[in-house]
């Protein structure tokens, strides 16, 4: 995350560039805001109200922004950066200045409160093909929508139609597939911008129905009869009381997956990360052995 001084410099830089004002570069050129600071990272920055956002960083787009359910989509513009950075500057990201130019793509995101914030990023545009005014975060969400991500495909031991016992291990796992655990990848394109997103589950939280929960960082281990009465090595639970005295009484088990989605803009080096959740439910019956005296 940029320091406050460098963030302020970045904000002034964006405003000056969009307005066409000349601006000195911060990678060693005249007017560097802080001679002792590291070179500024202008790949992504924020101007105005809101939470600073950097693709791949800890910042988040404001509530109501793209992908957060806002009814008003972001409004984006693209402006050629004036002046262009000097040849050999880190901001060219390996591109040859003779083959094109750097542009600022800025998008105003609207929050549910009515406030708004402008987010921008440096993008490369080849000669004759300036970048489009498309918010890559919107394309990232479109790519995620194509994946059809779901909650876990829940598997339990004891399985359906069977009754477990108080004090005996219950095994939990999910079938592993592109939509249930990942990895899963998809792309979306608009206005010459292509974003590719890759999603994978980072954890599953199992709410067991008895007031307890279990967090598992993997898909769990599938149970087979050879395991006998052993405890699951990766994802399990032991019930301390029955699911009810009436026949057919069951606990409702809810499994919630957290999907971590990394996305990249093809050819620009920009990108970010999203997290989303999905859940599934099933039931399990738990009884207890009754000692019968003679």
**pLDDT tens-digit map of 107-120:** 787 777 778 888 77
In the predicted structure, residue 267 carries a pLDDT above the cut 80:
no
- Three-state SS string over the chain comes to CCCHHHHHHHHHHHHHHHCCCCCCCCCCCCCCCCCCCCCCCCCEEEECCCCCCCCCCCCCCCCCCCCCCCCCCCEEEEEECCCCCCCCCHHHCCCCHHHEEEEEEEEEEECCCCCEEEEEEEEEEECCECCCCCCHHHHHHHHHHHHCCCCCCEEEECCCCCEEECCCEEEEEECCCCCCCCCEEEEEEECCEEEEEEEEEEEEEEECCCCCEEEECCCCCCCCHHHCCCCCCCCEEECCCCCCCCCCCCEEEEEEEEEEEEEEECCCCCEEEEEEEEEEEEEEEEECCCCCCC
More confident residue, 192 or 67: 192
Cα–Cα dist 249/284, whole Å: 9
* Confidence (pLDDT) at 293: 52
| Across 221-249, average pLDDT | 91
Say what the pLDDT of residue 88 is: 87
pLDDT at 30: 31
CB 127 within 8 A of CB 142: no
Q: Give the HSE-up count for residue 234: Cα atoms under 13 Å, Cβ half-sphere.
A: 13
Residue 110 has what pLDDT? 76
- Predicted local confidence at residue 25, as pLDDT: 41
pLDDT at 172 over 90: yes
Can you read off the two tokens belonging to residue 174? Answer: 């999910």
Please report the pLDDT score of residue 16 as a whole number. Answer: 36
Give the whole-number percent of the chain exceeding pLDDT 70: 72
The mean-pLDDT minimum among 67-76, 113-122, 158-167, 227-236 falls in 67-76
Q: So what's the pLDDT on residue 10?
A: 37
Find the range with the poorest average confidence among 64-73, 96-105, 203-212: 64-73
CA pair distance 273, 198, nearest whole angstrom: 10
Evaluate if residue 62 carries a pLDDT over 70: no
Confidence of residue 12 (pLDDT cuts 50, 70, 90): very low
From the list 43, 36, 34, the residue with the least C-alpha distance to 6 is 34
Q: What is the mean pLDDT of the chain?
A: 76
Q: What percent of the chain has pLDDT over 90?
A: 44
Q: Report the range out of 38-42, 46-50, 225-229, 256-260 with the highest average pLDDT.
A: 256-260
pLDDT band at 290 (very low <50, low <70, confident <90, very high): low
Q: Taking the CB of residue 289, how many other CB atoms lie within 10 A of it?
A: 9
CB 176 within 8 A of CB 249: no
* pLDDT grade for 269, boundaries at 50, 70 and 90: low
| Residue 291: predicted pLDDT | 55
């Amino acid at each position: 995350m940029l320091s406050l001084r460098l963030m302020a410099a970045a904000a002034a830089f964006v405003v000056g560039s969009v307005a066409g004002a000349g601006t000195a570069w911060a990678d060693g050129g005249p007017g560097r805001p802080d001679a002792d600071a590291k070179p500024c990272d202008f790949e992504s920055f924020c101007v105005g109200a809101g939470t600073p956002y950097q693709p791949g960083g800890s910042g988040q787009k404001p509530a109501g922004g793209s992908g957060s359910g806002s009814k008003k989509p972001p409004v984006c513009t693209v402006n050629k950066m004036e002046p262009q950075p000097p040849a050999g500057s880190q901001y060219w990201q390996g591109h040859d200045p003779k083959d094109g130019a750097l542009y600022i793509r800025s998008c105003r995101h609207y929050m549910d409160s009515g406030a708004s914030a402008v987010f921008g990023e440096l993008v490369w545009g080849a000669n004759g093909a300036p970048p489009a005014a498309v918010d890559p975060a919107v394309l990232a969400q479109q790519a995620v929508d194509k994946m059809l991500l779901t909650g876990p495909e829940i598997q339990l031991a004891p399985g359906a139609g069977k009754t477990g016992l108080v004090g005996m291990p219950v095994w939990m796992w999910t079938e592993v597939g592109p939509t249930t655990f990942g990895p899963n990848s998809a792309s979306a394109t608009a206005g010459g911008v292509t974003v590719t997103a890759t999603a994978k589950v980072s954890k599953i939280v199992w709410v067991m129905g008895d007031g307890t929960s279990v967090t598992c960082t993997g898909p769990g281990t599938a149970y087979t009869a050879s395991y006998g009465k052993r405890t699951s090595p990766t994802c399990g639970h032991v019930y301390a009381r029955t699911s009810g005295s009436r026949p057919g009484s069951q606990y409702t088990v809810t499994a919630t997956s957290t999907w971590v989605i990394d996305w990249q803009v093809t050819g620009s080096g920009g990108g970010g990360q999203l997290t989303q959740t999905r859940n599934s439910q099933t039931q399990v019956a738990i009884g207890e052995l009754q000692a019968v005296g003679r």
